[in-house]
Amino acid sequence: MRDTAAGIEIDAVTKLYGSVRAVDGVSLSVPPGSLVSLLGPSGSGKTTLLRLVGGFETPEAGSIHIAGRDVTPLAPQKRPTATVFQSYALFPSMSVGENVAYGLDAKLPKAERQRRVQESLARVDMAVLGERPVAALSGGQQQRVALARALAVEPDVLLFDEPLSNLDAELRVQTRAEIRALQQRLGITALYVTHDQEEALALSDQIAVLRTGQLVATGTPEALYAQPPTAYVASFLGGANVVRGPLAERLGGRPLADEQALAVRPEDLAPETDSASGVPATLLARQYLGREAEWVVEADGVRLVLRVAPDLAPPEALRLAARRSTVVLDDLSQNPTPSPE
């Protein structure tokens, strides 16, 4: 790895596919040594933006700098980047070691190639499997080989496109922690595409939220979760209920302007024990989830989701109170709530 980590500067980048603005005037800084996630629903432009940074697409407008150098006109292999693809893009009949060596410059001396292959396989705990054909490996092991292959070129920047989506839930959680630990240990700059809000919250120094090609919010996981700027961010990151009008004013206990809405997270909405206060509601459905239960209720014609203790019995006359809520810019009133994928 290089000694000095390289930052990424994406400046007013636009990519069109016919009339589709896949990436629409996006500017984003990825500070050296940090991991920034691109988070958004399917079709929001995450992959396209990542491919623009990797050099697999050329923008119609804007520029991309890495370590202060304009890379916009450069081909992928001329950029200091390496990508871990969703599909891994491995050669099944080749051995682990051959796959890792594949992306290396043919002019590298043989000893140096071997050193890089060994070192990167060791970094992902795959050193002993170098001779195996890739087809004989589990999904989790293939994911590690793809990561080792990216590391072997000793890039300044790692690009990830939903690298965990082919793994089962338990392995996903374990592997994302390993990717984060490795990224921090190497101090390497990373841009990480995901549609999974929990993954973005768990991994990132900063999250960049995309919506139909546009960057709509950037911030630390803590800041975006606690203080979402818009209804879109509140509902995508944490699944908040978005409420408007008189119901919102009663739940939030404060007046709202026309362009504002109230975001209330399912865990912040609770049955009121004092029967004189709170907003009357009807229970529509209950789901037991082990550690908690999810209630779907209706208040004032609006469906709301609650997360409550699993053993809580619904009262005869249900009334709701919001323990906490955030006033957000209502950018959803014309559009349906986004859902992952």
- Contacts with Mg ion by CB under 5 A lie at 47
Contacts of 187 (CB under 8 A, 6+ apart): 1, 5, 33
For the stretch 102-124, what's the b/e string if a residue is b when 16 or more beta carbons lie within 10 angstroms of its beta carbon? eebeeeeeeeebeebbbbbbebb
- Any contact of residue 17 with ligand ADP (CB under 6 A)? yes
CB of 19: closest distance to ligand ADP in angstroms? Answer: 10
CB of 145: closest distance to Mg ion in angstroms? Answer: 21
Question: How open is the CA angle 182-161-91, to the nearest 5 degrees?
Answer: 85
| Largest separation between any pair of C-alpha atoms in the chain | 80
Which of 228, 231, 239 lies closest to 305, judged by CA? 239
Which of 73, 6, 15, 11 lies closest to 34, judged by CA? 6
Counting residues that bind ligand ADP (by CB under 6 A) gives 11
Beta carbon nearer to ligand ADP, 56 or 102: 56
End-to-end Cα separation, the chain, in angstroms:
35
Main-chain dihedrals φ then ψ at residue 273, nearest 5 degrees: -85, -30
Residue 335 touches which of Mg ion, ligand ADP, none (CB < 5 to 8 A by kind)? Answer: none
Stretch that binds ligand ADP, among 15-23, 79-87, 117-125, 134-142 (CB under 6 A): 15-23
Beta carbon nearer to ligand ADP, 40 or 54: 40
Beta carbon nearer to ligand ADP, 6 or 237: 237
Question: 35-54: which residues touch ligand ADP (CB under 6 A)?
Answer: 40, 42-48
Cβ burial of 90 (10 Å; 0-12, 13-18, 19+) is buried
Residue 7 touches which of Mg ion, ligand ADP, none (CB < 5 to 8 A by kind)? Answer: none
Beta carbon nearer to ligand ADP, 41 or 133: 41
Beta carbon nearer to ligand ADP, 64 or 248: 64
- Any contact of residue 22 with ligand ADP (CB under 6 A)? yes
Beta carbon nearer to ligand ADP, 33 or 43: 43
Distance, in Å, from the CA atom of 225 to the CA atom of 267, rounded to the nearest integer, reads 13
Which of 83, 80, 65, 75 lies closest to 13, judged by CA? 65
- Any contact of residue 215 with ligand ADP (CB under 6 A)? no
Q: According to CB under 6 A, which one of 5, 20, 129, 171 is a site residue for ligand ADP? A: 20
Stretch that binds ligand ADP, among 16-24, 114-122, 148-156, 257-265 (CB under 6 A): 16-24
Residue 22 touches which of Mg ion, ligand ADP, none (CB < 5 to 8 A by kind)? Answer: ligand ADP
CB of 156: closest distance to ligand ADP in angstroms? Answer: 23
Helices (H), the chain: 46-54, 96-102, 110-123, 139-152, 169-186, 197-203, 221-226, 231-236, 245-252
Contacts of 274 (CB under 8 A, 6+ apart): none
How many CA within 13 A on the CB side of residue 311?
Answer: 0
Site of tokens 């009334």: 319
CB of 146: closest distance to ligand ADP in angstroms? Answer: 18
Residue 40 touches which of Mg ion, ligand ADP, none (CB < 5 to 8 A by kind)? Answer: ligand ADP
Residue numbers at the binding site for ligand ADP (CB under 6 A)? 17, 20, 22, 40, 42-48
